[in-house]
Amino acid sequence: MVPYVMLKTGIGFESLFIQAAFYGLIGFFTFVTPVTLHVLTKGYVIRLYYKDEMDTYTAITYNAILAEKATVFHQKDVKIPDITKMFTTFYARTKSMLVNPTLFPNIQDYNHLMGYDKSLYFNFEEEKEADERK
């Protein structure tokens, strides 16, 4: 609407080159901004369901046309990145997911999702054998 309004009100530029550059800049931001926002936030989990009997999660995200997309994964498929990333909380198989831990009503659910409820077990014998093989 902005190019049409500027054309009808006479606020526009006289030079055809400046008009093309101005309208091109407006068009660039009109189409690039939504695409950039989608690329940055495509892994944001809108809803997360948990099936206790199968120990699986279903994460609902939006695709580019705002249709819901379901991703089903198991807790063992969850991988936490070694270095925290801005828009990634964990990887479900190879897909990056972003969840807000404060929105979990029960913190134990978040701990189970991330694998924090598992006990840490170090087998020093295996580590020594790996060092000896090197």
Q: Is 127 exposed, middle or buried (0-12, 13-18, 19+ CB in 10 A)?
A: exposed
Residue 40's pLDDT is what? 84
Please state whether the predicted TM-score (pTM) of the whole model is above 0.75.
no
Residue 45's pLDDT is what? 93
Residue 85's pLDDT is what? 78
**Domains of the chain: total:** 2
Instruction: Say if CB 97 and CB 90 are below 8 A apart.
Output: yes
Instruction: Say if CB 71 and CB 95 are below 8 A apart.
Output: yes
For residues 71 and 90, membership in a common domain is answered with yes
The answer to whether residue 106 is domain-embedded is yes
Residue 123's pLDDT is what? 60
The amino acid present at 104, given as its one-letter code, is F
In this structure, what token pair is assigned to residue 59? 């994460």
Residue 72's pLDDT is what? 94
For residues 103 and 59, membership in a common domain is answered with yes
Q: Which residue has the higher pLDDT, 89 or 124?
A: 89
CA–CA gap between residue 36 and residue 118 (Å, rounded): 37
The answer to whether residue 123 is domain-embedded is no
CA–CA gap between residue 95 and residue 79 (Å, rounded): 10
